Chain A
Amino acid sequence: MVDVRSGIGEALPPPEVEDVELYHPHSWWTRYVFSQDAKIIAIQYATTAIAIGMVALVLSWLMRLQLGFPDTFQLVDAEAYYQYITMHGMIMVIYLLTALFLGGFGNYLIPLMVGARDMVFPYANMLSYWIYLLAVLVLVASFFAPGGPTGAGWTLYPPQAVLSGTPGGRDWGIILMLSSLIIFIIGFTMGGLNYVVTVLQGRARGMTLMRMPLTVWGIFTATVMALLAFPALFVACVMMLFDRLLGTSFFMPAIVEMGEQLQHGGGSPILFQHLFWFFGHPEVYIVALPAFGIVSDLISTHARKNIFGYRMMVWAIVIIGGLSFIVWAHHMYVSGMNPYFGFFFATTTLIIAVPTAIKVYNWVLTLWRGDIHLTLPMLFALAFIVTFVNGGLTGLFLGNVVVDVPLSDTMFVVAHFHMVMGVAPILVIFGAIYHWYPKITGRMLNETLGQIHFWVTFVGAYAIFFPMHYVGLAGVPRRYHELGEAAFVPESINDLNAFISIMALIVGAAQILFLFNLVWSLRHGREAGGNPWRATTLEWQTPETPPPHGNWGKELPVVYRWAYDYSVPGAPEDFIPQNHPTPGGASHEAAP
């Protein structure tokens, strides 16, 4: 085969995808609206996700006002509270986090980071976005449907999800919710195929798997997981729609609803839970793995040091991805399933803690003897580590089957998953936006606004969710819009709840500042240049910034080294771009 010592330029392995004929846009519509350019699609995904995310944010305000001051504000009754809680959860998990990490960052970064001109199936990619938008619109429509959106909780457990005791159960709410999820999954599959195959087949010459930035590894693994896990939600949604609309009994046992015998019989609510969590647990890592990958790159770049233990990081991502398919029933310890499953699932769950912990150590060890620039992306990365470690450790409580018994379905769970898959990944999203905004727009985000945004968000979010664990530990169940009189908790728990609510309002308000910054800096931000962070990865080496359709001009980049050549001894600068050919970086003349 190829001689390792052969000179540069000889016998380069050919690209796996021939230089594809790009679909060149002819009009404003095809350039910016029905665009097949992954970067435009990424921005469309991100804008839609953030817009619907704002709805979820407002809902969380209303819920916190109710929880913090149950007697002062009468604006939320039980029915509205359940509707808000359901929509908030579903929007955040699926329509914001999944869509933003995979559809947003995946679309923008994968082709650029692996050195491709675009995704391999640009047309399907475009369709993916429009189907996602349709899913979002169907979801939003349920706010205006008779009976309002469903209030079944984001877990949508039957039978209550389709019965009249639940808002939207006998109206349009649940139907629209399930339909929206089905549409989302169809759209996601189209996008997901692109992300996977682009990584498999679209890599530039020299870009071996072990030279890929961890961001790509994270998004790639998460997408593979999503492609295998989303069908479980799809099947569950289809079956529940059958139960709701056509009177089948997949999940519905014999039920006496408000004194009236229903026609159903023999179905198993637990079956739904198995299907739901077979999707639901991998979903946690579908959100977490891209965050893991991105944060690795942020830390490495801004600490000017290679990521510590790159191989271990890659293996950990793959192992976590695989293991996450055999832990789903740890969400069901008290569901009434066969109790002996508890031994197995507690063990697998706690085993996942080991590769996850290794990732945390490696992030922290990357800081060790680094040259830490406390830029905004770095600050967000540090904040991510704190919140992720905190949330990950409380996961050890809930994963350990018997410890879960008193804590499950309490506010402890709410605090845990908000910390670990709410706050932590969103901090990464912020860090990533501060990091890549200069590439996307050519301008830096405003630093002062960013600093305010960071401090309020980080400290505030911690102050919301850390004390919330203790609300749960005291025994307060989740999904109660008011606790009422309860002898088992001290009266002062109300003060703690009020404090949490005030912090939530403040943190929410800080996000408006962030949105303002995004818009303001488009025009008024400092000019960034092509590579403001002096980063090694390919997306910073494009000939133009922002990169045009096709990314690379005439020649595709050729990759000569891994993604983490920071502070290489003997190199003239503290970074060597991946497409820089000189071995060892002894002469480094072509700094971008």
Chain B
Amino acid sequence: MSVMMVFLAAIAAIIIWWLAQQRLASRPWLEVGHAHDHRRSQPLPAEKVGLGVFLAVVGSLFALSISAYFMRMASSDWGALPLPGLLWVNTGVLALASLALHRTRIEAERQHDDAARTALLMALAAGLAFLVGQLFAWRTLVGSGYVLANNPANSFFYMLTGLHGLHIIGGLAALGRTIARVRLGALDRRARLLIELCAIYWHFMLVVWLVLFVLLSGWANEVIDFCRQLLT
């Protein structure tokens, strides 16, 4: 559970940082009046905070899966599977989606509505391409005999990529809704917010994918072994 503990420590740090600004040591019974509310006058939109909290939940989900991965990996029947080269392409495509959304955001802020729309469509296409690519990677693996139940490494591969894929599908749905909204009319504040939320979500999913990719390819093993040696 060490991965989860690290993740929790990060979350705890954020919570403590936030609580530290909330004057938890003040004596509220001595403070009467409205003037003790020191909230900023330009608050974050609730949707953004909501997305942040949601990403913490998603992060927790993946941190726990990765914890399980390492704990199960210690068993002797573990046999790593060779990753199909297609995953490199998929990684690139997912990064492209992220980039496209980043571009959308910038263009939207500059009021270049058409450029923003184009970039948004590009992101959608890249996201779909990533999903299709993942399915092909699965097919390649199944074709060469690495099926789900043969080895725990395979099971984890399919489960982790599957979980990630489901989140990508969710992201595509959100992207689709955003496109439907910006298709007609100028990009208003609300549309820009939606674009920003999509961008944050896709960047996050890209980071999750990179972590998973490093993990599944086995590059992380040496680091993990080193950590294990430190602990024992």
Contact = CB atoms under 8 A, between A and B. Distances in A.
Interface string A110-128: 0000000000110000000
Given A189-B57, A235-B68, A247-B148, 16 more contacts: A17-B43, A120-B50, A121-B46, A121-B50, A189-B54, A193-B57, A200-B46, A228-B8, A239-B159, A250-B155, A268-B71, A311-B24, A311-B27, A315-B24, A561-B29, A561-B31
A4 B4 CA distance: 43
B36 A208 contact: yes
A248 B155 contact: yes
A321 to B, nearest CB: 9
A200 B14 CA distance: 14
A306 to B, nearest CB: 7
Given A206-B37, A247-B149, A238 B64 contact: no
A205 interface: yes
Interface residues of B, number: 53
Interface in A560-589: 560-562, 564-565, 581, 583-584
B61 A274 contact: no
B230 interface: no
A248 B69 CA distance: 13
A210 interface: yes
A232 B64 contact: yes
Contact of B152 (A5, A6, A267): A267
B72 A267 contact: yes
Interface in A1-48: 1-6, 8, 11-14, 16-17
B227 interface: no
Interface in B86-135: none
A271 B34 CA distance: 51
Given A206-B37, A208-B37, A235 B50 contact: no
A209 B77 CA distance: 52
A172 interface: no
Given A13-B38, A246-B148, A231 B29 contact: no
Nearest to B11: A228
Contacts of B27: 311
A206 B38 contact: no
Contact of B159 (A1, A189, A238): A238
A288 B210 CA distance: 38
A250 B32 contact: no
A59 B230 CA distance: 50
A91 B37 CA distance: 41
Interface string A270-284: 010011001000000
A318 interface: yes
Pairs A-B, 4 closest by C-beta atoms? A266-B77, A562-B28, A231-B61, A16-B43
B39 A227 contact: no
Nearest to A251: B72
Given A189-B57, A560-B32, A565-B29, A14 B75 contact: no
Interface in B21-55: 22-29, 31-39, 41, 43-44, 46-47, 49-50, 53-54
Contact of A306 (B29, B57, B152, B155): B29
Contacts of A310: 28-29
A325 B8 contact: yes
A210 B26 contact: yes
Contact of B46 (A16, A248, A268, A581): A16
Q: Which has the most chain B C-beta neighbours within 10 Å: A239, A263, A315?
A: A239
Q: Which has the most chain B C-beta neighbours within 10 Å: A274, A558, A564, A581?
A: A274
B39 to A, nearest CB: 5
Interface residues of A, number: 74
A250 B31 CA distance: 56
A467 B11 CA distance: 42
Contact of A248 (B25, B41, B50, B148): B148
Contacts of A228: 8, 11, 56-57, 60
Contacts of B46: 16-17, 120-121, 197, 200-202
A559 interface: yes
Nearest to A326: B5
A275 B64 contact: yes
A12 B36 CA distance: 10
Contacts of A406: none
A567 to B, nearest CB: 12
Given A227-B53, A584-B32, A278 B1 contact: yes
A275 B66 CA distance: 12
B171 to A, nearest CB: 16
A12 B68 CA distance: 50
10 contacts: A121-B50, A189-B57, A200-B46, A206-B37, A246-B148, A247-B148, A249-B149, A266-B76, A322-B12, A326-B5
B161 interface: no
Interface string B147-189: 0110010010001000100000000000000000000000000
Given A235-B64, A246-B149, A562-B28, A197 B53 contact: yes
A69 to B, nearest CB: 44
A210 B57 CA distance: 26
Contact of B22 (A121, A210, A565): A210
A197 B50 contact: yes
